[in-house]
Amino acid sequence: MAAERWYSLEASEVLERLGVDRESGLEEGEARRRLEEQGPNELEDRGGNDALRILRAQVSSVMVWMLLAASVASLAFGDVKDAIAIAAILVLNILLGFRQEYVAEKAMGALKRLAVPSVRVRRDGLVREVGARSLVTGDVVILQAGDVVPADGRVVSAHALRAQESALTGESQAVGKDTHAVGGSAEEEPAMGDRRSMVFMGTVVTHGRGEAVLTATGMDTELGNVASMIRTVGREPTPLQARLDQLGKGLAVAALVLVAVIFGTGVARGQGLEVMLMTAISMAVAAVPEGLPAVVTIALAVGAQRMLKRNALIRRLPAVETLGSVTVICSDKTGTLTANKMTVTVLDVAGETVSFDGRDPEDRAGSLPGGLQASATTSSAVDLLLIGATLCNDAILEEGVEADAGLRITGDPTETALVEAAARHGLLKHELEKVLPRIDELPFDSTQKRMSTRHALPAQTTGLPERVADAVFGTLGREYGHRPEDGHRPEDGEGSMGDRAFEAVSFTKGAVDVLVDASASVLAGGSVTPLDDTWRGRICDGNEALAGQGMRVLGLAMRLEQAGSAQAAWGEDGVDDSDLTFVGIIGMADPARPEVQHAVATCAAAGIRPVMITGDHPVTAVYIAEQLGISTEHGVLTGADLTRMSAEELAGRVGEVSVYARVAPEHKLAIVSALQAEGHVVAMTGDGVNDAPALKKADIGVAMGVVGTDVAKEAADMVLLDDDFATIVAAVEEGRVIYDNIRKFIRYILTSNSGELAVMLVAPFLGLPLPLLPLQILWINLVTDGLPALALSLEPGERQVMSRPPRPPDENIFARGLGVHTLVFGALIALVSLGAGYYYWASDSPSWQTMVFTTLTLSQMSLALAVRSERDPLFRVGLFSNKALLGSVVLTFCLQLAVIYVPVLQGLFRTVGLKPLDLIVAVLLSTVVFWIVEGQKIVAARGRPQTA
């Protein structure tokens, strides 16, 4: 289907060819059939590491080549057994490395599959939200400002629809879209930017709304054509991986120097060249921490999966690391700090206030029972307020297919609350739209803070339901000579509007102060009255009173358009709304989420400052902030304040102010920049198109997964699947846990490696022969650097992980004593192991080398248990709280016993069976490092304040 010239066909012909009805969309069964036939709507990731590529990378690593050289050298010297043993260890290393990389790749692949946008699509006559991967040709998708187009499609409905296509065409200006077929011969096809009847995958809707029937998905799209030309895609390492890779190279150089010293010393003391060459190669393999990047990747990927279970979807892996350094969380109020389950509680028109008996927002499940009636008696003025708020609204109220024949509402929570309120009073949106169809609109603009729609009036007033006619003409109509009872002028014929003095009605809803400024009159007492200062004051006082109760307040204004005036009022530049009639205000309650107060308290304990940024009224912002425990001590900054302030002035205030109100999206960028200039690591939430710059600028961009636009999600590092502030705090906690675990792994692996090097380096100075044979060194590297090291990355969070300040983002990996720990305890392990060996060697015991080998191996297992926490001893952490690590320690102990006591392995590794007493001595000596590390923690804890 991709070869079809869909842009040149009329919309009706496209729908016919694709076998779909625009109003009902595809049937679910047909959609599933097409999905099986066409495959998922996604681009092939040809740069991903499949199993063969991962295996090839493992085989080509430096460590593998070292082991291969050792095996070849053994063959050259005629030592077939050693050659076979080294080859076996080589294969085991490759398999372990392959498994680690494969697990990490699979984990990241699972995250990528989850990080797909949701799309509103017509299926079985209903509007549904489905994942973009499940879209097929023939699907009718609904597009609005902020959406990323999920696949190529032919536009079948457009209202001021524009799309930014620079990613495909290079054109910087957004392109207007319409339903008209685009001409052009097959030989001279119009350029992509001229195909105004088409939308393309990966482009962004910047304005308006519309519908498109999909004509191509996945690799058949124009974006897919570009992707098909790309065969390989490089994957950038995370900042932590880059630092660790650099660390690994530095350590490798230092280790190779020490290995050279060991080799030279051994040869000088008369050791055989073959033995020392094999020893040098084995030490080089053991000393290089080649597993660092792989374990870091796994730790980050596993952490991202854990975050997903807590409703935080990580889109970019470096964000996992950065989360541990966050010092400020800037959050929207609505939906993040509050429940985002708005319920209309107050309707206020001049002289009349209606308080709803509303339900608990938690009781709303997205559907309403059929046959809803008014819950309170309302006047025509209140009816007009509900009608206007429902029609100037993009939420969808539709007949359900459930057994109870209910009504379902989908859309923005604020708008669904308005539609629900009208429905509960017997004014159903889909019925209102039949008699007052929308013919034009001006979508909500965050700068203008309002939305306008225009609706055609029928030629016969008898076509309007009585309540609607009375509300529209009974309030405003009489001012133009109409009678409330019939809505026409006396000189016109019965039921006729004559020359149609009224051609359309327009409604505008938005911020009360904005609408008051745009209005010239007010609806009061059933008639239109000039909007003087007295009325302005009364309206503003009502707005302040509702906002002071923590409500979100919207205003509604309208205008009846006389014949001939509509075109002048509604031109290409939008609507002239400077002469409106103010109808009334609507108060909606959006209570604070109950879990957020605890999350804010957790932030305070963790040294993180929560900052509220909202477009709502300052009084509302302060009310919610005080409920949650967010500081209002230093007042509130508004968008107007931010506009007047210089960058330097703002930088001087952002360290104190924690509440921002009446803020436009562009102000978020200024706030983020000012905080970063003061040295803060900033997490910023957002959901709209205009939030994208701030999300990108922030150290952690956090998009709303429920109400967020696709543009915001694409710009973000993390997506909240529940739009909950507490989820951000939980993600920060996970980020700290992951970084701690990476440090534990580094502490363990470097201490172990330094201990091995020290044994080989110091032994000659004690007069000892070669303390470890090449195969023994490789064995230690295999069993201690593998599963135990990886299991440390799975360690659960420490008890006080959120009771300490954030770590500096540029903190050195050896900070907070890690470097000293590595050297001191590496030396301790070497001292204990050599001490055991020296005692038995001095006693002419043939088991002296086996004692060094066993004590060194088991000491590293003791170290693995000791470094599980930097602060708490093992008895407090719990022996069984990391079963993977405990299992790997037990397995390593059993394997070591096998190497000591199984005859075949004894001959291979040159070991002797230890007497029971000797084995007990080795085990007890190996625990020395454990007890000293644990004792150090206990001593340090006595100097710290005790916290729960």
Nearest to 815 by CA among 747, 766, 763, 871: 747
Strand order in the sheet with 609-613: 312-314, 718-720, 700-704, 682-686, 328-332, 609-613, 659-661, 637-638
The pairing of beta strand 407-410 with beta strand 126-131: unpaired
In terms of DSSP H, where are the helices of 763-882? 774-784, 787-792, 818-842, 848-866, 874-877
User: For this structure, is 332 an active site residue?
Assistant: yes
Single-letter residue type at 131:
G
State whether residue 424 is helix, strand or coil: helix
Assess contact for 67 and 97: CB atoms under 8 A: no
What count of Cα atoms within 13 Å lies in the side-chain half-sphere of residue 832? Answer: 28
Helix 80-114, helix 51-59: angle, nearest 10: 140
State whether residue 551 is helix, strand or coil: strand
* Alpha carbon separation from 161 to 129, 141, 210, 441 (Å, rounded): 21, 14, 6, 11
Instruction: Round to whole Å and give the CA distance between 340 and 707.
Output: 10
Instruction: Round to whole Å and give the CA distance between 149 and 165.
Output: 10
Instruction: Spot the catalytic one: 332, 412, 785, 918.
Output: 332
Assess contact for 212 and 156: CB atoms under 8 A: yes
Instruction: Round to whole Å and give the CA distance between 70 and 67.
Output: 5
- Phi, psi torsion values for 524, nearest 5 degrees: -140, 125
Instruction: Round to whole Å and give the CA distance between 285 and 65.
Output: 10
Instruction: Round to whole Å and give the CA distance between 812 and 762.
Output: 29
Instruction: Round to whole Å and give the CA distance between 551 and 537.
Output: 19
Give 408's strand partners: 367, 398
* Alpha carbon separation from 215 to 37, 187, 199, 292, 343 (Å, rounded): 15, 21, 10, 47, 40
CB count within 10 Å of CB 595 equals 14
The pairing of beta strand 198-199 with beta strand 682-686: unpaired
Assess contact for 751 and 821: CB atoms under 8 A: yes
DSSP conformation class of 35: H
CB count within 10 Å of CB 786 equals 20
Residues 6+ apart with CB under 8 A from 736: 323, 324, 797, 801, 802, 807
Single-letter residue type at 918:
D
Assess contact for 716 and 303: CB atoms under 8 A: no
Active site residues: 332
